[in-house]
């Protein structure tokens, strides 16, 4: 019943200054130059204030991304698979093109050198996006648009995999056209019974 809030409360102003400084630096320098020191300088705060709340740069970026991305997962639940999937992928691509590409690239890059962060990144970001896509496929399966024998895990890997692949390697653009091509390919795949 007690569980009182002791001590000086966390400064919301600082928190937002840090998050927006991170966003700004990431956009401006494309990932290079995103250091704790630079964030502290830009946010006019101290380094310890940052370390008190986040374990490192990547987790700040993750929070920035989540605060944007979670809002944007909007699935229109009642249409055909073609339309639902198409809209979901186009929205994802737009998010990448418009503001999030550098952020996501930074996150995967960092995840490769920090296993603990990779777990946090997977649990809080990719796992949730996978869940959404899986529910889209599950609904289509209920409606009979997909045969129940299909391997949904592999489908999800192919869809998100292709997107990340383009984003990370950069051999071709990750834009709306690509979203449409991908949608078409998946539709064709699921309309076919297993071999």
Partner DNA sequence: AACTAAACGAGACGGTACGTCCAGTCTTTAA
Partner DNA sequence: TTAAAGACTGGACGTACCGTCTCGTTTAGTT
Q: List residues binding a copy of itself (CB under 8 A).
A: 30-32, 105-106, 108-115, 118, 121-122, 126-127, 130, 151, 153-155, 157-166, 168-172, 181-182, 184-185, 187-189, 191-195
Burial degree of 121 (CB within 10 A; 0-12, 13-18, 19+): buried
**By CB under 7 A, residue 57 contacts DNA:** yes
Partner that binds at residue 14, options a copy of itself, DNA, none, CB closer than 5 to 8 Å by kind: DNA
Interatomic CA distance for residues 75 and 5, integer angstroms? 38
**By CB under 7 A, residue 143 contacts DNA:** no
* Closest-CA residue to 138 (of 70, 52, 77, 74): 77
Interatomic CA distance for residues 138 and 154, integer angstroms? 13
Give the residue with the Cβ less far from DNA, 21 or 69. 21
Q: Spell out the residues 6+ positions from residue 30 whose beta carbon is closer than 8 angstroms to its own.
A: 102
**By CB under 7 A, residue 28 contacts DNA:** no
Residue ranges that bind DNA, judged by CB under 7 A: 2, 4-11, 13-15, 17, 33, 35-38, 43-49, 51-53, 56-57
């Amino acid at each position: 019943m007690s569980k009182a809030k002791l001590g000086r409360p966390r400064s919301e102003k600082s928190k937002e200054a840090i998050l927006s400084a991170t966003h700004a630096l990431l956009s401006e320098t494309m990932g290079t130059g995103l250091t704790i020191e630079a964030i502290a300088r830009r946010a006019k705060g101290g380094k310890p204030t940052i370390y008190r709340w986040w374990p490192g740069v990547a987790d700040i970026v993750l929070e920035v991304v989540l605060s944007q991305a979670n809002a944007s997962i909007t699935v229109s639940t009642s249409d055909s698979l073609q339309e639902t999937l198409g809209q979901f992928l186009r929205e994802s691509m737009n998010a990448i093109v418009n503001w999030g590409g550098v952020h996501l690239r930074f996150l995967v890059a960092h995840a490769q050198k920090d296993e603990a962060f990779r777990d946090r990144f997977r649990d809080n970001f990719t796992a949730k996006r996978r869940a959404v896509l899986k529910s889209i496929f599950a609904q289509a399966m209920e409606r009979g648009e997909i045969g129940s024998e299909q391997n949904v895990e592999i489908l999800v890997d192919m869809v998100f995999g292709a997107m990340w692949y383009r984003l990370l390697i950069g051999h071709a653009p990750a834009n709306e056209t690509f979203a449409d091509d991908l949608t078409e390919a998946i539709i064709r795949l699921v309309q076919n019974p297993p071999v």
